[in-house]
Every structure is written in structure tokens, then in C-alpha cells.
Structure 1
């Protein structure tokens, strides 16, 4: 296996605006790199009953397919641990995530990921 090949993980929400995160991952990628896209929904979130969120996820599935990536949707009440586990299982080298809107919980989200994935290069994309 080529040691310069990297695995890139994009963390998305159920919003069409997350397309910018996928495009940013493409900027970081080189030929042969793999791009993974993940959306973690809390167990009690019902995105399939919500037309807007379902439509956004369908849109993101299309974007993922167009860049040769898979969009994985997982359910968990512990979003950070789920992303960390997924990143470790898939040997992720670079993680791309969106910026918060000044929300301190997002700050916590970034810090928790950074602490658990200290070997992963994390890029926060501004809104």
C-alpha cells in the first residue's frame, strides 16, 4: 500500500450547506486518497420523517457519490465517541468539520475530537 495515501473523514449534518465541507476535503485530497463522509444522528432524532432533512441527506448522498465517497449515517447519543470509533476503524488521517456559530458545545466537540484523535489532522471550515 502506498504510504502517502491518506484517509479523509468529513463530518456533516443533515444540511445541504455541508457540501462546502466535502469540497474542502477534495482540496486536501490527492490521487489515491479515500474520502469518507459521516453523519451521526442522535437516537431520538427523526430525520426520515422530516422532508427537509431527508431531502438534504439525499442531496449529500448525491454529492458523496459524485466525488467517489460513501456517506455513512449512524445513530448514537454519543456523537464524539461514534466519530472517534469510526475514525479509528477507518484509519483516518485528516478530519474536516464545520465551524460552530459561536456555540460553546461545538468548541467542546472540536476539543473532544482533538483529544481522542491526537494523530489526526483536524480542519475546521468556517461558515
Structure 2
């Protein structure tokens, strides 16, 4: 089992994250026995069901994940990086796919990606540019 190369795809509540899931689906084909996990961390108290666009986007990503043969998990936590690191360790993840958002250079996404890389130095990270 140690040679499994499970892949974790970190998504937000945007349909654009479909590109990350499709990339993961391609990657998993070259890693026999690997599992594909799609993960979204919602902050506690965040109500995406009250926002029709975000709720619809999550439904859409669940569907795309299912078609890609991935298990999609939505976790609640105010500590996004801690939660993602914990998930990666628990699920024997060796590759993490994350997306760059439009304001990547000057927003939290970059910090999250850097923090993930720092805390999971043995993992391979694929940061997918926007568009």
C-alpha cells in the first residue's frame, strides 16, 4: 500500500475548479491503484446553501468528482491548512493539486499553498494556473 500515490484536489466553491478535478483524473490514470480525493474546507458558520451560486457550484463539483471516479469531501473548519494537512496524512496522499486564483500574487491562496508545501515537504504539489 505504501506505493499508492493518492491524489488530493483542493477546491473552492467555484465551477472553475472543474479544471483541477479533470487534471487529477488524468494524473490518476498513470498511478495504478491511486485514489482521487476532492476536498473543500468551509469555514464554520459559512452558509453556502444560502448562496444559490455557491450551492450550485458545489453540486456541480460533486457531479464532476463522481464522473472522475473521485470521492468529494466537504469539511468544516476555521483552520483550513490544518484540516487539509490532516486529511492528506490520513488518506496517504502523495500529490496535492491546488489552483491559482485570479489575484493569486496578493491574496490568501498563495499563503495557503506555501503553508501546505512547508507542512507537507514530502508531497508533490501541482499548482494549476488560472485559465
**TM-score, normalised via structure 2 length:** 0.90
Alignment RMSD: 1.3
Corresponding residue number in structure 1 for 2:14 = 15
Matched, 1:116 2:115: no
Moved over 3 A (4+): none
**Cα distance in structure 1, aligned partners of 2:107 and 2:57:** 25
**Cα distance in structure 2, aligned partners of 1:65 and 1:106:** 25
How far did residue 60 of structure 1 move? 0.5
How far did residue 86 of structure 1 move? 0.3
Count of residues paired in the alignment: 126
Corresponding residue number in structure 2 for 1:59 = 60
Per-residue CA shift, 1:15-69, capped at 9, x if unaligned?
Answer: 1110000111122222322100000011131101111111110000101111111
- Equivalent position SS for 1:93: strand
Corresponding residue number in structure 2 for 1:93 = 94
How far did residue 2 of structure 1 move? 7.3
How do 1:29-108 residues align onto structure 2 when only pairs under 5 Å count? 29=28, 30=30, 31-100=32-101, 101=103, 102-108=105-111
**TM-score, normalised via structure 1 length:** 0.93
In structure 2, runs of 5+ residues without a counterpart are: none
